[in-house]
């Protein structure tokens, strides 16, 4: 199976459009969070204390805002890839910003273990901490690629 990755009619374009769709759905979800969480808890026949409920609202709200910003930067990175300019300073900066925006999610989940005792909470926090480090390393690789590209452009 031969799948084209780059260009305006390929996988990276589908991913760019998906970022927009996820931003719209995420905005609807974050704005309707109290009702959505209530519906979910009623559907599961679960009761949670007020302290845990409000902790969940805060946790999901902050995660949603950070996720929206991450999707915005990811969409711009994919746009740069689609216009065949992946190794630019803008792309490297945006990838670094994505790593920075993973950190508040990681820390809020690691702090939330105090209010919401769950192994899942720790797992999500540690996962986003690991992702932040990996994405930061990828950003540094993009900075090096930009430098090599600039040097190459100057020698030609």
The DSSP secondary structure of 77-127, one letter per residue, reads HHHHHHTT--SSHHHHHHHHHHHHHHHHHHHHHHHHTTTS--HHHHHHHHH
Looking at the domain assignment, is residue 46 inside a domain?
yes
Asked whether residue 6 is assigned to any structural domain, the reply reads no
Q: What is the pTM of this model?
A: 0.87
For residue range 33-75, list pLDDT tens digits in order: 999 988 888 887 777 788 888 888 999 999 999 999 999 999 9
75-98 confidence digits (pLDDT tens): 999 999 988 889 999 999 999 999
Share of the chain above pLDDT 70, in %: 94
Counted domains in the chain: 1
Q: How confident is the model at residue 135 (pLDDT cuts 50, 70, 90)?
A: very high
In a domain, 83, yes or no: yes
Spatial contact of 63 and 73, defined as CB atoms under 8 Å apart: no
In a domain, 48, yes or no: yes
Q: Which domain holds residue 149?
A: 11-155
């Amino acid at each position: 199976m031969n799948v084209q990755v780059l260009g305006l009619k390929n996988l990276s374009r589908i991913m760019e459009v998906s970022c927009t769709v996820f931003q719209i759905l995420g905005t609807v979800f974050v704005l309707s969070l109290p009702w959505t969480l209530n519906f979910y808890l009623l559907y599961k026949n679960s009761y949670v204390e007020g302290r845990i409920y409000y902790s969940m609202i805060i946790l999901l709200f902050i995660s949603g805002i950070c996720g929206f910003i991450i999707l915005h930067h990811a969409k711009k990175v994919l746009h740069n890839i689609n216009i065949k300019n992946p190794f630019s300073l803008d792309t490297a900066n945006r990838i670094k910003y994505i790593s920075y925006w993973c950190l508040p999610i990681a820390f809020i989940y690691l702090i939330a273990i105090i209010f919401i005792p769950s192994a899942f909470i720790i797992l999500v926090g540690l996962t986003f901490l690991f992702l932040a480090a990996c994405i930061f390393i990828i950003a540094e690789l993009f900075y090096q690629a930009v430098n090599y590209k600039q040097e190459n452009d100057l020698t030609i």
